[in-house]
Structure 1
Amino acid sequence: MGVFAAVLLTACTNPNTPAGHEGYVFEKPRIFGAGGYRSTLEGPSNYGVSLWRNQVINIDMRPNTYTENFKILANDDLNISFDFHAVISIKQGTVKEVVESYGGENWYQRYIRETFRTYVRSAVQKYDSRDLKGSREKIAVEVTEKLQSYLGNTPFDIAKVVVGNINYPEIVANAVEKKLAAQQLLSEKETQKQIARKDAEIRVEEAKGIAEAQKIINATLTPNYLQHEAINAQLKMADSPNHTTVYIPVGTNGLPLVKGAR
């Protein structure tokens, strides 16, 4: 009796499904009967202890990111490397269809992967390599729309498609760096040119100011003014205790001739 009970317990199963998954419960074929689908589980849950050989295939229904790596010849025959990411989920309540019609746990590899890669190649090869980075959004939209059409009547939903980092061949990357450096140098030269132009404008304005001041000074240097200034200078020198210069007012209009004292 004990041996029979042990064998009976060994033959029992209790299929269970974790959160975020749906389980496809099936019975393995016995000597009598065909086995096959028994029920669907929505996680977290379990099917219950069964005397039959019931098992479960659990399918993750949550959105997951599927990444594909590419090396594709662009329209200008340059080999470009980049990643493409697709966020895909499975509609609730469709686990039976996924297992029986789309490969079960391998649904992505069997039904979507190669089609996804074909759409990416087709979209990318329309562009020259230099235009790819600026066209990421257009490429992502095109691939998304094609996948949505392809998966329209299936259990699968496309949430988002994203183009990852785009890597050019080393020779192209070096050329781009040199071009950017040259553009930076030209920008600096243009800035220096603008500074030099402003400096020149300032010097012109300063020269204009000096010329105008000289014009004003020259207009005020009349003979009477000069005579007045000379007389004032003589008076100041006469009052100085240290002067050694003699002024003789014999010049034009009484302006003094200056002679050093011996």
Structure 2
Amino acid sequence: MTLAFLGFILVLLGLNAARLSPGLERLRGLLTLGGLGLLIAGLALSTVVQIGVGQVGVQTLFGKVEDRVLPPGLSVVNPLVDVTRFDTRTQNYTMSATHTEGQQAGDDAIRVLSADGLEVVIDLTVLYHVVPQQAPKILSTIGEDYQEKIVRAISRTRIRDNAVYYDAVALYSSRRDEFQTRILNAIEKDFQASGLKLDQLLIRNIQLPQSVKTSIESKISAEQDAQKMQFVLQKEKQEAERKRVEAQGIADYQRIVNTELSDKLLQYETIKANQAIATSPNAKVIIMGGGRGPVPQLLLADK
């Protein structure tokens, strides 16, 4: 519309050049033709609107929002309408205690009271997108700042409303998934009523009070010490059992030797040993008579 307005001004100057200045009268034709050209070009361009990828356009004519949604690409519109573009791709809104992570400067984490009266700090990321067909409704009822009015406000409110049903330790550990599912269902309904679609809800961090964290750490340390002691006791029991089995084996061996080893068996084993020596190529045998024992006396000597 800027070109059309400029062209209209030039046309007026050309038509009134003679009355305004004698010098302008010589440029009357040029001003008129140039003005007409800019006017036509401006009107032509203002009737064509380009919508980017992942966007939709909403038309407003004299304060009234049109129901027709402009899709991505080129569209022909009334040159008098204003077109507001909405991003329909997935967007994220993060509320975090870390100053550089969230959309808001500084600490923007959500502080809630649990069922046991403790303050819990929650970092949250909301993934959502604008429903294309609902863009005119969003513009007319909420405005372009729907992220602040809907996404931020509803998310913080629903988390506070539902956190009161859980103890602080349960939020941190055993019932964290249940809590996330519960607030997701609550936020999803509110988003749907406002023309938004909730894609995912991510609880990034839950920070407990320092006193509770110290108590949990002490409990975990005590459990680890107990498990370590159980391991040591089990190991000692296994070692004692091994020693008992070893002692029993030695006792059984001694009993067998004491009960079954006789003099005749000893004589037999001695004779076998002497025979082995006698047949050795490096020794000679001299049998000495006169011995009183059950085994003849042998004299061994090297060859």
Instruction: Specify the SS of the correspondent of 2:59.
Output: strand
Post-superposition offset of 1:177? 3.4
Q: Which residue of 1 aligns with 2:199?
A: 159
Q: Which has the higher contact order (CA 8 A, sep 6+)?
A: 1
CA contact (8 A) 1:15 1:55 kept: no
Post-superposition offset of 1:160? 2.6
CA contact (8 A) 2:110 2:122 kept: yes
The answer for unaligned runs of 5 or more in structure 2 is 1-31, 96-108, 285-289, 296-303
CA contact (8 A) 1:26 1:39 kept: no
| Matches of 1:41 and 1:18, distance apart in 2 | 13
Shift of the 249–182 alpha-carbon distance from structure 1 to 2, 3 Å rule, reads farther
| Matches of 1:56 and 1:230, distance apart in 2 | 116
Q: How does 1:84-233 map to 2 (within 5 A)?
A: 84-101=124-141, 103-132=142-171, 133-222=173-262, 228=267
CA contact (8 A) 1:74 1:127 kept: yes
Instruction: Specify the SS of the correspondent of 2:175.
Output: helix
**TM superposition score normalised by structure 2:** 0.64
Aligned residue type for 1:209: G
Question: Does residue 55 of structure 2 align to residue 16 of structure 1?
Answer: no
Q: Which residue of 2 aligns with 1:244?
A: none
Shift of the 10–42 alpha-carbon distance from structure 1 to 2, 3 Å rule, reads closer
| Matches of 1:43 and 1:83, distance apart in 2 | 35
Shift of the 126–38 alpha-carbon distance from structure 1 to 2, 3 Å rule, reads closer
| Matches of 2:112 and 2:269, distance apart in 1 | 94
Shift of the 36–7 alpha-carbon distance from structure 1 to 2, 3 Å rule, reads farther
Shift of the 232–157 alpha-carbon distance from structure 1 to 2, 3 Å rule, reads same
CA contact (8 A) 1:79 1:169 kept: yes
Post-superposition offset of 1:125? 2.1
| Matches of 1:213 and 1:173, distance apart in 2 | 60
Q: Which residue of 1 aligns with 2:92?
A: 65
| Matches of 1:165 and 1:35, distance apart in 2 | 44
| Matches of 2:264 and 2:79, distance apart in 1 | 136
- Within the candidate set 16, 40, 44, 2:72 is matched to 44
Shift of the 38–131 alpha-carbon distance from structure 1 to 2, 3 Å rule, reads closer
Deviates more, 1:62-71 or 1:124-133: 62-71
Aligned residue type for 1:192: V
The answer for unaligned runs of 5 or more in structure 1 is 28-33, 242-246, 256-262
Shift of the 50–155 alpha-carbon distance from structure 1 to 2, 3 Å rule, reads closer
CA contact (8 A) 2:116 2:168 kept: yes
